[in-house]
Chains A and B, each alone.
Chain A
């Protein structure tokens, strides 16, 4: 399997040679007035302009060969047909099957429709008020308890598509709580009504400690209002998991369980029943439109030739930037306030998938894989980290994401014209920033002020959406999923496992007993830093406990009696 290493592919060697002779973006643009017309790909509601990437026709031709050498078309087919592409965990990765329409469902996957239908029924029950809390009142609030893929995807989509909320879903408030420290719950439980709040416990394994500890806190909170545990389980919890047994063991009745499967990766799972908060918050038809948008992009990915294939082009450009141009940072810059959570969603999707240093068969790599990826709403980031992009010392590649049309459905508002003016301002900023990053000084009047020098030549892609709606968002997410898969194929790694996150969980479990104030475990085996920090924490916590006891008169009198 010498073919699994990127660096062993013939096309890669030629690409590296080309990288040494690369012209700057200023030169590339002046050499060809039609550059932008040649460097764009359309896929449904999306359009990719990659003319501000540091590539030319020769580079593109070699990238195409690289795609063929890595057998991308064949690998895509394996992905879609359910072959065991997740080699280390010996499973398929069939998220694409979740969003195919029912009539195209792969044989044996009828359960996808069964679960979608069950989800739809639950959503209807909650939205119409048929679902009742323990005291018989209708549900007004839903809290999604989940972390990682069970949180980021649903949260991001729910925020992005809020304006498409169907009337039936408008009265329901959906919240998200993910953090292991219970901070978000602590705030929520302060004002939520226990009689009218429903909790969704989302965890693929149903053992995720972050989520299950939040669920236990919630159950204890509810128990102070209703002692009948069976009634609480029935009226206030829905479980979404691949582990039926674990949900049952936790106490969830079967009717309150929604399933998905081993072959759905957590970070690829928003298309499954993990999307329940999306459907609750926006309406089931909106969720189905999201699926349809992603499916259309799946078909594009599966059928388009490498240089006309939008996700594949993003993957190839990424490899070119990381491995040939040595650019190890990647900024995600949506110029759209609705996509606030999109960068953090992509951070998980890309870095958890492709932050790997061994090949799919376990051999160590000697080249870079996933770059450090981060982002923010573009116009806000202009007031934060753009300084580094423009005049810092790190090369950074960027993705600009923006919708051409906005506020079409707000034309009755008195402030419509001002909103449209804001949208135009936003578009202008988006275009200006990618232009200045690429061209630097050449984009403006020359000056000899040393502080006003802009080197430029920072590459970027612009993803232009017709407008942000359920269909285009579905396509946008699927684009990045497929980019991640194609990139993993090029790097020779498995994007569907995440062994790196396991060790931390295990050590946390080992350390937890040391933090119990009653315990007196010997910590001499630990490293000195951890030991010192443990001792300091114990000191601070014991002191405050003592103060609390002294403040409570009962405790003092008991103390005195003793």
Chain B
């Protein structure tokens, strides 16, 4: 199927790689493939993209008029919601393809509103569906090609069949399609993220309570997760969740929920509180540093282990690290960041990175510092030689935002160790 994919982020590139690899003729507007270090690709996605480009199934730098001339049948909009008018204009410019799929979260009712506008055009027979993507950073390609559930919001049988046909290569073993109305799909996408965020924030609130009662939240988490009604997913307390898509949907759902509330009352909702707790968690490691040093933080040196919003991604967007670095710099704290992949992408967020250094290894970052802040749980941090590293520190303080170390072992190794809801209460 001739497909035009709009957008230049990880979702767009993953869709392009996966669909062209099944024989689709894919057009993208970007001038070239992203760099290896870019947040918009992951290694396997990039390899696949290069192969498709070579095979001629992927065309870059495709203008709308070219897509129209080529007779594109499917338009996948993977951009952040651009507004109805822009969407309509772009669809027309692409020669009114037979099928348009919106894959990013959009305000409730967008799909139907767009469909109405298109039906009103005399010459158009374009169908619009809402096809929410569940592509996860860190395992983007896998999360698309081995998807557990395919959710599709469609009012047209013809359109549903086309998407099913498109996904058949990835959906052979059993029919995982769940077809609902576009509006239901729009809300489902928001609701799933809202639910996950609520679980995490709930755990963070519990962690605070656990800490103040000398209870180890890790033991509580394991016991809770064993209850099959609850399960283990998204029960990790920590220094805040991130990810652009995740935060955006959350914000949008909060907006939808609060659209009829007075402005002053907007934080009083459950989801408002979920976000407020997450903001507090993102600030937590700084607050601990502040308390430990009794507000005397100026001029200190702090190592950040990890700045990606989660392991295995180069993306820092929405990461607690961005917040922490900004706050630390504001207080004239010298920050040394180590991240195996994402450190290069900090440059896009900090104009004058005076006081901000990038280290080549976690050990180098920790060298001579007043504290180590663990922000991302990269696998390479789990089994470092921490007893040896202790002596390199100016003060052996480790603030673990991801609970990857054992409090007793750390204490035995001479560290002052504080996790989220476990270890020393600071």
A234 touches B330 (CB 8 A): no
Which chain B residues lie closer than 8 Å to A130 at the CB level? Answer: 327, 330-331
A134 near B295: Cβ-Cβ < 8 Å: yes
In the bound complex, what is the Cα–Cα distance between A138 and B331 (angstroms)? 13
CA distance A231 to B330 in the complex (A): 19
B287 and A231: CB pair below 8 A? Answer: no
Minimum CB–CB distance for B70 against chain A, Å: 44
Contact between A136 and B289, CB atoms less than 8 A apart = yes
Contacts of A284 in B (CB 8 A): none
Q: Chain B residues near A134: list those with CB within 8 A.
A: 291, 295
Verify if B350 is at the interface (C-beta below 8 Å from A).
no
**Are A231 and B294 in contact, with the CB atoms below 8 A?**
yes
Q: How far is the CA of A135 from the CA of B287 in the complex (A)?
A: 6
Contact A136 B291 (CB under 8 A): yes
A231 to B290, CA, bound (A): 11
Within 220-234 of A, Cβ neighbours of B (below 8 Å) are at 228, 231, 234
CB atoms of A136 and B286 under 8 A apart: yes
Complex interface: chain A residues within 8 A of B288 (CB): 136
The complex places the Cα of A128 from the Cα of B290 at a distance, in Å, of 17
Contact pattern, B 369-380, Cβ under 8 Å of A = 1, otherwise 0: 000000000000
Nearest chain-A residue to B284 (Cβ)? A136
Q: Which residues of B contact A235 (CB under 8 A)?
A: 295
A38 within 8 A of B: no
Contact bitstring B282-305, A, C-beta under 8 A = 1, else 0 = 010011111100110000000000
Of chain A, the residue at the smallest CB distance from B331 is A130
Within 8 Å CB of A128, what residues of B? 330
B330-A132 in contact (CB<8A): no
CB contacts (< 8 Å) of B289 on chain A: these are 136
Determine if A14 is an interface residue (Cβ-Cβ < 8 Å).
no
Q: Which residue of A lies closest to B280 (CB)?
A: A137
Q: How far is the CA of A407 from the CA of B394 in the complex (A)?
A: 59
B325-351 contacts to A (CB < 8 Å):
327, 330-331
Chain A, interface size: which category? 10 to 19
The answer to whether B287 touches A228, judged by C-beta atoms less than 8 angstroms apart, is no
A227 CB → nearest B CB, Å: 11
Bound: A344/B331 CA distance, A = 42
A234, closest chain B residue (CB):
B295
Whether A136 and B294, one on each chain, are in contact in the complex, defined by CB atoms closer than 8 angstroms, is no
The verdict on A228 contacting B294 (CB below 8 Å), with A130-B330, A130-B331 known, is yes
The reply to whether B295 and A137 form a contact with Cβ atoms under 8 Å apart is: no
CB distance from A139 to the nearest CB of B (A): 13
Contacts of A132 in B (CB 8 A): 287, 290, 295
Q: Which of B316-330 contact A (CB under 8 A)?
A: 327, 330
B295 and A231 form a contact (CB under 8 A): yes
| Interface residue tally for chain B (C-beta within 8 Å) | 13
Please, which residues of chain B bring their CB within 8 A of the CB of A135? 287, 290-291
Minimal beta-carbon separation of A86 from chain B (angstroms): 41
B294 contact set on A, CB distance < 8 A: 228, 231
Output the nearest chain B residue to A170 by Cβ-Cβ distance: B263
In angstroms, Cα B335 to Cα A11, docked, is 76
Bitwise, A90-130 to B at CB < 8 A (1) or not (0) is: 00000000000000000000000000000000000000101
Residues of B within 8 A of A231 (CB): 294-295
User: Which residues of chain B from 245 to 298 have any CB-CB distance to chain A below 8 Å in the complex?
Assistant: 280, 283, 286-291, 294-295
Min Cβ gap A164→B in Å is 16
- The answer on a CB contact under 8 Å between A136 and B290 is yes
Nearest to B263 among chain A residues (CB) is A170
Bound CA span A137–B280, Å: 9
B258 to chain A, nearest CB (A): 16
A171 to chain B, nearest CB (A): 10
- Least distance between A536 CB and chain B CB atoms (Å): 46
Assembly CA distance A257 to B331 (angstroms): 19
Whose C-beta in chain A lies nearest to the C-beta of B288?
A: A136
Question: How far is B290's CA from A234's CA once the two chains are assembled, in angstroms?
Answer: 13
Contacts of B291 in A (CB 8 A): 134-136
**CB distance B287 to A137 under 8 Å?**
yes
Q: Distance (Å) between the CB of A85 and the closest chain B CB? A: 44
Return chain A residues, CB-CB under 8 Å to B327: 130
How long is the Cα–Cα vector from A138 to B279 in the complex, in angstroms? 11
Bound CA span A449–B290, Å: 77
Least Cβ–Cβ distance between A228 and chain B, in angstroms: 6
Please give, as numbers and ranges, the residues of chain A lying within 8 Å of B286 by CB-CB distance: 136
Using a CB-CB cutoff of 8 Å, which residues 130-148 of chain A contact chain B?
A: 130, 132, 134-138
How far is B273's CA from A329's CA once the two chains are assembled, in angstroms?
A: 54
**From residue 44 to 59 of chain A, which have CB atoms closer than 8 A to chain B?**
none
Which chain B residues (128-186) contact chain A, with CB distance < 8 Å? none
Contact residues in B for A137 (Cβ distance below 8 Å): 280, 283, 287
Closest CB in chain B relative to A151 CB, distance in Å = 25
Measured CB to CB, the nearest residue on chain B to A125 is B330
Q: How far is the CA of A136 from the CA of B289 in the complex (A)?
A: 8
A231, B289: Cα distance in complex, Å: 14
Distance to closest chain A CB from B371 (angstroms): 13
Shortest distance from the beta carbon of A138 to any chain B beta carbon, whole Å: 8
List chain A residues, Cβ under 8 A from B283: 136-138
A285 to B411, CA, bound (A): 51
Shortest beta-carbon distance from B399 to chain A in Å: 12
**CA distance in complex: A212, B327 (Å):** 34
Min CB gap A136→B, angstroms:
3
Nearest B residue (CB) for A134: B295
CA distance in complex: A235, B290 (Å): 11
Alpha-carbon gap, A394 to B280, bound state (A): 61
CA distance A234 to B291 in the complex (A): 13
**Contact residues in B for A228 (Cβ distance below 8 Å):** 294
| A207 CB, nearest partner CB in chain B, Å | 28
Q: Give min CB distance, A72 to chain B, whole Å.
A: 48
Measured CA separation A235–B294 after assembly (Å): 10
Closest chain B CB from A557 CB (angstroms): 33
Instruction: Report the nearest B residue to A195, measured CB to CB.
Output: B287
| CA distance in complex: A134, B289 (Å) | 12
- Which A residues lie within 8 Å of B287 (CB)? 132, 135-137
B245 → chain A, closest Cβ, in Å? 26
B213 to chain A, nearest CB (A): 18
Looking at the assembled complex, report how far the CB atom of B215 sits from the nearest CB atom of chain A, in whole angstroms: 20
Q: How far is the CA of A234 from the CA of B330 in the complex (A)?
A: 17
**What is the minimal beta-carbon distance from A1 to any residue of chain B, in angstroms?**
58
Contacts of B290 in A (CB 8 A): 132, 135-136
Interface-central residue, B288, B289, B291, by most chain A CB under 10 Å: B291
Shortest distance from the beta carbon of A413 to any chain B beta carbon, whole Å = 12
Contact with B along A198-235 (1 / 0, CB 8 A): 00000000000000000000000000000010010011
Considering the chains assembled together, what is the distance between the CA atoms of A202 and B286 in angstroms?
A: 31
A132 to B330, CA, bound (A): 12
Say how far A195's CB is from chain B's closest CB, in angstroms. 10
Q: How far is the CA of A444 from the CA of B280 in the complex (A)?
A: 65
Distance between Cα atoms of A235 and B330 in the complex (Å): 16
Query: In angstroms, how far is the closest chain B Cβ from the Cβ of A338?
Result: 18
A121 CB, min distance to chain B CBs, angstroms: 12
A254 to chain B, nearest CB (A): 15
In the complex, chain A residues 233-275 whose Cβ is within 8 Å of any chain B Cβ: 234-235
Q: How far is the CA of A137 from the CA of B295 in the complex (A)?
A: 11
Q: Nearest Cβ distance between residue A403 and chain B, in whole angstroms?
A: 24
Neighbouring A residues of B295 by C-beta, 8 Å: 132, 134, 136, 231, 234-235
A290 CA to B287 CA, complexed, in Å: 36
With both beta carbons as reference points, the residue of chain A lying nearest to B294 in the complex is identified as A231
Q: Which residues of B contact A (CB under 8 A)?
A: 280, 283, 286-291, 294-295, 327, 330-331
Closest 5 CB pairs of A and B: A136-B287, A136-B290, A130-B330, A136-B291, A231-B294
- 12 additional A-B residue pairs with CB within 8 Å, beyond A135-B287, A136-B283, A136-B289: A130-B327, A130-B330, A130-B331, A132-B290, A132-B295, A134-B291, A134-B295, A135-B290, A135-B291, A136-B291, A137-B287, A228-B294
**13 A-B residue pairs with CB within 8 Å:** A128-B330, A130-B331, A132-B290, A132-B295, A136-B287, A136-B288, A136-B290, A136-B295, A138-B283, A228-B294, A231-B295, A234-B295, A235-B295
